[in-house]
Amino acid sequence: MNSKTVGVIGAGAWGTGFAQALARGGHKVELWALESEVVDSINNEHENKKFLPGFKLSENITASSDIEKVATKKDFLILASPSLYLASTVKKLVTIPNIADGDTFIGVLTKGFVPTKKGAKLCLETIENVLPGIYKGNTVYISGPSHAEEVAMGKLTGLIAASENPKNTIIFRELMRVPGIVAYSSLDVVGVQVCAAVKNVIAIVYGICDAISQDSDTFGDNSESLLLAAGLNEIQQLGFAMGATHAETFTSIAGVGDLDVTCKSKYGRNRRFGQDIINKNILSKFKNLDDLIARVNEVGYLPEGAIACKYVYEISERLGLKLVICDGLYKILNCEIEPEDFLRDLLRLKKRVKK
């Protein structure tokens, strides 16, 4: 594919890392950032010191705090806003001529569920209800085991482009044909999105288990693998209940691949949050899960799984599902049960973990 112009809406770690990968492949990328210091850092020092420090960014990357400028006259637009703000961000784009006319291809990096008055929705459903009708069934969801730091370094990473429109999955796959990225296509838009959202929930529980296992005669590596496998089963159960179409989605990089790296990588914010629940008693400053979500900036980083957990709980209740791990984390974050008690009950143990 020849060099393309790309706007990335959201200059967090993942948006910046993805922009760096595209720029490495010769594409011209403009990032939108809400924070003026991020814009200045990228434009003047070629580094996102706030969200992706330590990585020299390509000369092909510029930044702006003008969202309309970033989205205007672009071949591709990539949405990388946090799930809480995705819908409100997209509403700012709909009148831009190349968006209003459907001339720009739109992809989504955001992982999680989007809160609406009618309950939690998946990302593509949410933005397609806001965008001009021409985008219905034509937006693309991008996911896979892809920590921003390694993507920025150019380390080999696999990504999946999922859409109801098979032609658009190929178009995005070609866009991502850059050094360090191996891209695949999928038509299972629901399954891929559910995997991307719920793996963050499982990763928090994995982090809790990992922290407890450091001083435990009960939990260890075997326990964590047991938890990962059980978590994947819950992701698959919810995925099919919501309309996933392909079983192989959950055994692909979108499913087990992304879950594995999110649970185990040193870069994982959700795993870190789970560890901080045990090691730093980070939940003590919050009254319940709603308070945590309202004040999530006080955590110092964004654990998307904590937000997704609320919506997984609501969806599973609505669909009549019993998701033991996800439900347990909801009660932990809602300050209803203790993490150690939950893990012991989950594995039907009688012996307490060492203090």
pLDDT in tens, 9-25: 999 999 999 999 999 99
Residue bearing tokens 């979500």: 293
Q: Which of 149, 154, 150 is nearest to 52 (CA)?
A: 149
Residue bearing tokens 């009148």: 95
SS3 track for the chain: CCCCEEEEECCCHHHHHHHHHHHHCCCEEEEECCCHHHHHHHHHHCCECCCECCCCCCCCEEEECCHHHHHCCCCEEEECCCHHHHHHHHHCCCCCHHHHCCCCEEEECCCCCECCCCCCECHHHHHHHHCCHHHCCCCEEEECCCCHHHHHHCCCEEEEEECCCHHHHHHHHHHCCCCCEEEEEECCHHHHHHHHHHHHHHHHHHHHHHHHHCCCCCCCHHHHHHHHHHHHHHHHHHHHHHCCCCHHHCCCHHHHHHHHHHHHCCCCHHHHHHHHHHHCCHHHHCCCHHHHHHCHHHHCCCCHHHHHHHHHHHHHHHHCCCCHHHHHHHHHHCCCCCHHHHHHHHCCCCCCCCC
Provide mean pLDDT across the span 101-128.
Answer: 95
Provide mean pLDDT across the span 326-333.
Answer: 97
Q: Is the pLDDT of residue 149 over 50?
A: yes
Provide mean pLDDT across the span 46-52.
Answer: 97
Q: What is the pLDDT of residue 355?
A: 35
Q: What is the pLDDT of residue 307?
A: 95
% of the chain at pLDDT higher than 70? 97
Q: Predicted confidence band at 217 (pLDDT cuts at 50, 70, 90)?
A: confident
The reported pTM is 0.94
Q: Is the pLDDT of residue 352 over 60?
A: no
In angstroms, the CA 109 to CA 10 distance is 10
Q: Predicted confidence band at 348 (pLDDT cuts at 50, 70, 90)?
A: low
pLDDT tens, 150-174? Answer: 999 999 999 999 999 999 999 999 9
Q: What is the pLDDT of residue 157?
A: 98
- Domains (ranges, CATH) in the chain? 5-187 (3.40.50.720), 190-346 (1.10.1040.10)
pLDDT tens, 228-284? Answer: 999 999 999 999 999 999 999 999 999 999 999 999 999 999 999 999 999 999 999
Return mean pLDDT, the chain.
Answer: 95
Q: Is the pLDDT of residue 31 over 70?
A: yes
In angstroms, the CA 245 to CA 247 distance is 7
Long-range contacts (CB closer than 8 Å, 24 or more residues apart) made by 45-48:
48/11, 48/13, 48/16
pLDDT tens, 51-68? Answer: 999 999 999 999 999 999
- Residue 4 annotated as catalytic: no
Among 74, 111, 121, 199, the active-site one is 199
